Amino acid sequence: MIALHNSKTWTYSSYLIALVLMVPVLVMLVGGISASTQLFAHLWQTVLPTYLENTVILAFLVVLLSLIFGVLSAAIITQTDIVFKKQLRWLLLLPLAMPAYLVAYLYTDLFDYAGPVQRSLRTWFGWQSPNDYWFFDIRTLPGAALMLALVLFPYIYMLTRGAFEQQDQNLIRASRLLGLTAKQSFFKVALPLARPAIAVAASLVLMETLADFATVQYFSVHTLTTAIYDTWLGYGDLGAANALASVLMLLVLFVVLAEQRSRAGLRHQSARPNLQRELIKLSSSQQVMASFFCWALVIFGFLLPLALLIVMAVEYSNVAQLSVLISTGINSLKISVIAATVAVLIALSLGLYQRLHSDKYRQLPQQISGFGYAIPGTVLAMAMLSTLGPIDHWLNGVAEFLGFAAPGLILSGSLFAIIFALVVRFSAIANGTIISGIKQIPQSLDYAPASLGVNLTGSLTKVHLPILTPTIVVAWLLVFVEAMKELPAVLLLRPFNFETLSSQIYQLISDEMLEQGALGAILIVLFGLLPIVLLNKSKEEV
Amino acid sequence: MTALLSIQQLSVKLQDKEVLSSLDLTLNAGDILGLVGASGCGKTTLLNAIAGFSKPSTGQIVIDGKVLSDKQHYVPAENRQVGMIFQDYALFPHLTVKENIAFGIAQLTQTEQQQQIDSLLTILKLNDYQNSYIHQLSGGQQQRVAIARALAPKPKLLLLDEPFSNIDARLRNELMVEIRQLLKQFDMTAIFVTHNKDEVFTFADKMAVMAQGKLLQFDTPSIICQAPNSYQVADFLQLGSWLPCNVDENGAQSLLGNLDISAEHGTQFSKVHLLVKPSQLILNTLVDENSDTNTNTNTKPNAQVDYISVTEQGYHYSLSNIDSPSTDQSLAFSKLSLYSDIALSLKQHVQLSIIPHNFLYFTNRGV
């Protein structure tokens, strides 16, 4: 590939942007690693082994359950003649819009000892106390894993389904001609070919699980994320919180590296995906079982929680709540709009740099800036605090030295920190979307403007940006929605008395009063549906 | 004629590999040059270097007296006044036909732009499509838009990268003639890249054959056809078949008889490859299989039919020598082309002879 431009300013600013995005995490890692060995020893002797163990078991269970849910449903949808296939195909994506902590709260409400299900059972069967019967205890580690898997499995479903649908049908046809039945060729050809996609999806689920805070906190399952939160907000021990965040960060790093290794060299792309595929015919009993499985996922992962929220909203909504909803909603909008705009501008700048600049390592800034997505919100929040805090102190010192009034925590105690954290965390989403949009532009369109006497600015404003407009809109929306939903980073970094939709709902959940915020919760779910609709639409167009 | 383009000692490295090495080329104003060569020979890199899309490591490029690239100067692509028609046309999908054509002439006034566009639309018969988007046009129409867009800023030199490779074979010839006339009408100097020699014969005034980053021969197509300067040129252009000969003072021996080529005084060669064009071969009277015993060498069969294809003019035969224990293997030949309207059968033995002519032969096969 021949690159076109060699502006030094562009190079410096690209690397600077990437660096700035990464600095807080580096500071935190350095702080965490250089934290006194005494501190680590203390943590290791007390709580760290339990936290680590819980985190690892939780991650394992969530991935296992998500694989069962996701791969099986993807196989059923793409390989069999299940009824209502067209509807289930997109319905199975919807649980992705449901935050795990909402599901956790609603199901606890429903299935707890005092909940309507157990109450009715007791009434019907005349049981007197918990000793009379056994019931699944939801507020446990396996319970948390199930809640998370219920809303995270669509990642696996989506990517695996995509892999099955993109597979070269001639490979399947060849295996059939070599004597395999439809079922055999699924297990011997289609499934092995889909392995890289499944591995990628599983690592996404893993990262989301490691990042989860609210679900485990609500269930009182002590993992690394809850430990970071408690250590900082409960004991005010920044050093220990940093150390825990660094451990979690290393865990995530391990997942990222493992994922990249598993992906290396594994590319099964297809040239003829659109050939008619032959479907496995289900017997009527199989048809019932498959339908039961898929509909159960849709109902428990999305429809039932949404219905419960709607019932709550109808029963408990009032004007006072509406005004709270509006004020928190405006706060959420404010930070999400700014974060989305900044993230998209950065993604555009770095993406076009990668495409058009002659720098040998032109993809580097974009790669560095995309790494933030793997960083859990709690870790990121600690990183912000440990970086911006000292800067604030220094600024105050300088101001006082110069005879001005101390400005206070203008960086770490303001929206700046939240927005910074959101941009770091969601830059990868904007990057990914923008890069794939840029890849759609044929290389020759980079050269055509110059051959017509038009310079870089003209080429960007008249060719690249107009062609990218739809992509830019999608990237903006995706980041916007993620920012609206983000909880842990906001919770740890928000200024005093600043509530967003998600932090407000989390508070209500902690106080067992979600009824007061049901409308806001519905709003979050609706926002969450937006990227699913977008993603599904772009998948349909392929 | 004045030289419009002058390239001297041009070398280009891509990823530390020398793709063009010390290339010289001069092109007169108004000439259309066809650049041929196998893929990977550096012809697209040469276009990119002229256009300003890849930076030479050494050498000079001068267009119309202006130095575009040498040690001191490097004029960016947008200031070179070099137009380009891309293989995939690179038309802007978000703009209409008219907006595509106007893209490179934004510095003109609205009226001037409009005049320029109108005249190009008329010449290229695109009047009905000026407000259409690119995806609404056929392949041929898209190519015309690409030409109009490239011509609008009145470039001094037009580069065409495999311009006909996406065109239906049946329409290709017609379109080439049409575009050639158009370029002549604009008195445009142009270089086009192709791997198809027939396109050069139809389209170009001059021809350049490239291999491994070097220019092998540069001349008019007819001279190159009649007098290729190397084995590689003749072989790449498939100007004929090859017949190995042993040469000494008395002449040349081949499996098709003795030829009037003799080693000149002082020359060292003893073996040559003779270029045989189908028109220089005579198919003598058919020989019966049994006459193999005939001692008369004039009627003894010396070739056999390996492959037959049908053409508009009759049959095309591919022949090789008849293998016998007494055959000198260093003279063995294969894939000798012969056109004839006489029907032969596969494996049939025939007798061939070569019409005496100004023999063209090379001593060296490789580089």
Contact B130, B144 (CB under 8 A): no
Q: How far apart are CA A68 and CA A149, in angstroms?
A: 10
Under an 8 A CB cutoff, do A453 and B51 touch? no
Evaluate if residue B112 carries a pLDDT over 90: yes
Contact A359, A211 (CB under 8 A): no
Please tell me the predicted confidence (pLDDT) of residue A538. 62
Tokens of A31: 């702080």
Superfamily of domain A51-264+286-310: MetI-like (1.10.3720.10)
Residue A190, SS3 per DSSP: helix
Chain B CA closest to residue A445: B90
Q: How far apart are CA B261 and CA B252, in angstroms?
A: 5
Q: How far apart are CA A26 and CA A20, in angstroms?
A: 10
Give pLDDT tens digits for A284-301. 999 999 999 999 999 999
Contact B36, B207 (CB under 8 A): yes
B356 interfaces chain A, CB cutoff of 8 Å? no
Determine which of B53, B74, B120 to mutate to test the interface with A (most A C-beta atoms within 10 Å).
Answer: B53
Listed in sequence order, the DSSP H helices in A116-190 are 116-125, 141-166, 169-177, 182-185
Please tell me the predicted confidence (pLDDT) of residue A432. 83
Residues of chain B contacting A463 with CB distance shorter than 8 Å: 92, 94
Listed in sequence order, the DSSP H helices in A371-464 are 377-401, 415-440, 444-451, 456-459
Contact B41, B213 (CB under 8 A): yes
Determine which of A360, A443, A452, A457 to mutate to test the interface with B (most B C-beta atoms within 10 Å).
Answer: A452
A444 interfaces chain B, CB cutoff of 8 Å? yes
DSSP A333: H
Residues of chain A contacting B51 with CB distance shorter than 8 Å: 447, 450-451
Please tell me the predicted confidence (pLDDT) of residue A478. 83
Q: How far apart are CA A198 and CA A51, in angstroms?
A: 28
Q: How far apart are CA B306 and CA B332, in angstroms?
A: 14
Task: Name the nearest CA neighbour of A501 among A479, A518, A476, A477.
Answer: A518
Under an 8 A CB cutoff, do B76 and A463 touch? no
Under an 8 A CB cutoff, do A442 and B92 touch? no
Q: How far apart are CA B195 and CA A35, in angstroms?
A: 66
Determine which of B47, B86, B116, B156 to mutate to test the interface with A (most A C-beta atoms within 10 Å).
Answer: B86
End-to-end alpha carbon distance in chain A:
26
Residues of chain B contacting A458 with CB distance shorter than 8 Å: 106
Edge-to-edge, what's the strand order for the sheet holding B32-36? B82-85, B157-161, B189-194, B32-36, B206-211, B214-219
Contact B113, B158 (CB under 8 A): no
- Whole-structure pTM value: 0.77
| Chain Cα centroid distance, residue B92 | 30
| Closest CB to A4 among B53, B88, B104 | B53
Tokens of A390: 């000292």
A467 interfaces chain B, CB cutoff of 8 Å? yes
Listed in sequence order, the DSSP H helices in B213-264 are 221-226, 231-236
Integer-rounded Cα radius of gyration of chain A: 25
| Closest CB to B86 among A4, A444, A463 | A444
| A234-248, A331-345, B50-64, B170-184: range with lowest mean pLDDT | A234-248
Q: How far apart are CA A68 and CA A296, in angstroms?
A: 13
| A3-7, A96-100, A323-327, A486-490: range with lowest mean pLDDT | A3-7
Across the strands, what pairs with B17?
A: B14
Please tell me the predicted confidence (pLDDT) of residue A433. 84
Q: How far apart are CA B99 and CA B114, in angstroms?
A: 11
Please tell me the predicted confidence (pLDDT) of residue B319. 92
CA–CA distances in Å: residue A524 to residues A102, A326, B202? 10, 13, 67
- A333/A362: higher pLDDT: A333
Contacts of B326 (CB under 8 A, 6+ apart): none
Contact A309, A106 (CB under 8 A): yes
Tokens of B174: 């017609």
Contacts of A293 (CB under 8 A, 6+ apart): A72, A73, A76
Chain A closest-CA separation from residue B91 CA (Å): 7
Task: Name the nearest CA neighbour of A375 among A487, A258, A253, A216.
Answer: A253
Give pLDDT tens digits for B19-37. 999 999 999 999 999 999 9
Residues of chain A contacting B82 with CB distance shorter than 8 Å: 451
Integer-rounded Cα radius of gyration of chain B: 26
Chain A closest-CA separation from residue B46 CA (Å): 13
Q: What percent of chain A has pLDDT over 90?
A: 22
Mean predicted lDDT score pLDDT of chain A:
84
Chain B CA closest to residue A462: B103
Residue A524 CB burial class (10 angstroms; 0-12, 13-18, ≥19): buried
- Is the ipTM higher than 0.90? The answer is no
Contacts of B164 (CB under 8 A, 6+ apart): B172, B175, B176, B194, B196, B199
Residues of chain B contacting A448 with CB distance shorter than 8 Å: 84, 86, 90-92
Please tell me the predicted confidence (pLDDT) of residue B189. 95
Evaluate if residue A130 carries a pLDDT over 80: no
The set of long-range contacts for A173-181, using a CB threshold of 8 Å and a minimum separation of 24, is: A173/A275, A176/A278
Under an 8 A CB cutoff, do B103 and A442 touch? no
Q: At what angle do helices A37-45 and A48-79 cross, to 10 degrees?
A: 70
Please tell me the predicted confidence (pLDDT) of residue B23. 92
Chain B closest-CA separation from residue A467 CA (Å): 6
Chain B CA closest to residue A444: B90
**B259 phi/psi in degrees, rounded to 5:** -125, 155
Mean predicted lDDT score pLDDT of chain B:
86
Tokens of A321: 């709540």
Evaluate if residue A225 carries a pLDDT over 70: yes
Residues of chain B contacting A454 with CB distance shorter than 8 Å: 78, 103-104, 106
Length of chain A: 542
Please tell me the predicted confidence (pLDDT) of residue A406. 77
Residues of chain A contacting B84 with CB distance shorter than 8 Å: 447-448, 451
Highest mean pLDDT among A173-187, A230-244, A373-387, B105-119: B105-119
Q: Mean pLDDT across the stretch A504-530?
A: 86
Please tell me the predicted confidence (pLDDT) of residue A1. 39
Query: Pairing mode, if any, of strands B271-276 and B281-283?
Result: unpaired
Under an 8 A CB cutoff, do A451 and B92 touch? no
Residue B240 CB burial class (10 angstroms; 0-12, 13-18, ≥19): buried
Handedness of CA A512, A516, A519, A524 (dihedral sign): negative
Q: How far apart are CA A208 and CA A204, in angstroms?
A: 6
Tell me which architecture the domain covering A1-34+317-542 has in CATH. Answer: Orthogonal Bundle (1.10)
Give pLDDT tens digits for A454-512. 888 888 999 999 999 988 988 898 889 888 888 888 888 888 888 898 998 888 888 88
pLDDT band at B269 (very low <50, low <70, confident <90, very high): low
Q: What percent of chain A has pLDDT over 70?
A: 93
Chain B CA closest to residue A358: B54
Please tell me the predicted confidence (pLDDT) of residue B294. 47
DSSP B317: E
- A37/A322: higher pLDDT: A322
Residues of chain A contacting B103 with CB distance shorter than 8 Å: 449, 452, 454, 462
Q: How far apart are CA B323 and CA A45, in angstroms?
A: 90
pLDDT band at A4 (very low <50, low <70, confident <90, very high): low
Evaluate if residue A541 carries a pLDDT over 60: no
Q: How far apart are CA B101 and CA B172, in angstroms?
A: 23
Please tell me the predicted confidence (pLDDT) of residue B299. 67
Q: Where do you find CATH 1.10.3720.10 in chain A?
A: 1-34+317-542, 51-264+286-310
Element (H, E) at B28: strand B17-28
